[in-house]
């Protein structure tokens, strides 16, 4: 069975003490997750090291960075490299979140560089893709997402692509309270898997976890995650409330 993943993206939220309390509450309430399940916390940079220490050897539970730079090192004030992340034992990194694409003009080619750097340091990229509202309304969301995948991931070989987690996030449903229906989520996840299958083969595509991101809550997670091509979620606002995120974790297949 593909890895089923509940990934929390705290974004630019929580002070250190607030984050410690949130993490403590979730870790204390989640118990042991099953072997095919993973819980990932994408924490703001200043708290990565301390959060990794707090999680310790807890089974199938990891800390992620929310971003990395697309160069290995240099005069890039305020940026963080994959070498820095590797040096503090970070195992996951979000790449290409829609907010990074929109606010920081990250291109598909730049994201291909980030994916390469993450993989070179044994960091799992959680690669985000998804369409804005105008693309969805025009009915060309499949082509839009396919281009994102092609330009950022299709240079990889079959072994490398299986190290990538993909997160589909309909941009019109992020932080808006709107959620793609479970059928809409499944349709896009099925399309993504078919695109991957054409490039890398059905067996490879069948091994890649594809998460849904877009106003996932405790109340809708089970229905969304029950879809055959949905392998969990990349969760924003609901991951900032311990009880909500615990319910999401418990909704994994």
Rounded to whole angstroms, what are the CA distances from 132 to 108, 137, 180? 15, 9, 12
Q: Which of 131, 169, 191, 244 is catalytic?
A: 169
Q: Would you call 97 a catalytic residue per the annotation?
A: yes
User: Which among 117, 124, 120 has a CA at the least distance from the CA of 80?
Assistant: 117
Q: Which of 69, 70, 97, 189 is catalytic?
A: 97
- Pick left, alpha or beta for residue 181 (phi over 0 → left; psi -120 to 50 → alpha; otherwise beta): beta
Backbone angles phi, psi at 129, to 5 degrees: -140, 160
- For residue 144, give both structure tokens: 């839009």
Contacts of 99 (CB under 8 A, 6+ apart): 11, 174
> What does the alpha-carbon distance between residue 97 and residue 23 come to, in Å, rounded to a whole number?
22
> What does the alpha-carbon distance between residue 170 and residue 172 come to, in Å, rounded to a whole number?
5
Cβ-based neighbour number of residue 24 at 10 Å: 12
- For residue 218, give both structure tokens: 């405790």
Q: Would you call 169 a catalytic residue per the annotation?
A: yes
> What does the alpha-carbon distance between residue 103 and residue 198 come to, in Å, rounded to a whole number?
32
> What does the alpha-carbon distance between residue 4 and residue 253 come to, in Å, rounded to a whole number?
7
3 state DSSP class of 142: helix
Catalytic residues: 97, 169
């Amino acid at each position: 069975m593909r890895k089923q993943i509940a990934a929390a993206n705290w974004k630019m939220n929580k002070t250190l003490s607030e984050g410690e309390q949130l993490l403590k509450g979730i870790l204390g309430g989640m118990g042991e997750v099953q072997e095919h399940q993973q819980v990932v916390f994408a924490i703001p940079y200043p708290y990565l090291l301390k959060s990794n220490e707090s999680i310790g050897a807890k089974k199938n539970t990891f800390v992620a960075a929310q971003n990395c730079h697309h160069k290995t090192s240099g005069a890039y004030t305020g940026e963080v490299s994959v070498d820095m992340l590797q040096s503090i034992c970070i195992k996951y990194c979000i790449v290409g979140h829609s907010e990074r694409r929109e606010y920081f003009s990250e291109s598909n080619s730049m994201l291909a560089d980030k994916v390469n750097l993450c993989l070179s340091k044994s960091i799992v990229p959680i690669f985000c893709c998804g369409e804005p509202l105008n693309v969805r309304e025009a009915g060309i969301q499949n082509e839009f997402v396919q281009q994102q995948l092609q330009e950022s991931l299709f240079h990889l070989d079959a072994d490398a692509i299986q190290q990538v987690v993909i997160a589909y996030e309909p941009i019109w449903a992020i932080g808006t309270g709107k959620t793609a229906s479970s059928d809409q989520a499944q349709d896009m996840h099925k399309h993504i898997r078919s695109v991957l299958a054409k490039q890398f083969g059905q067996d490879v595509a069948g091994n890649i976890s594809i998460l849904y991101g877009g106003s996932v809550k405790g109340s809708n997670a089970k229905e969304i995650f029950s879809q055959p091509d949905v392998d969990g979620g990349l969760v924003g606002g609901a991951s900032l409330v311990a009880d909500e995120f615990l319910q999401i974790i418990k909704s994994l297949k």
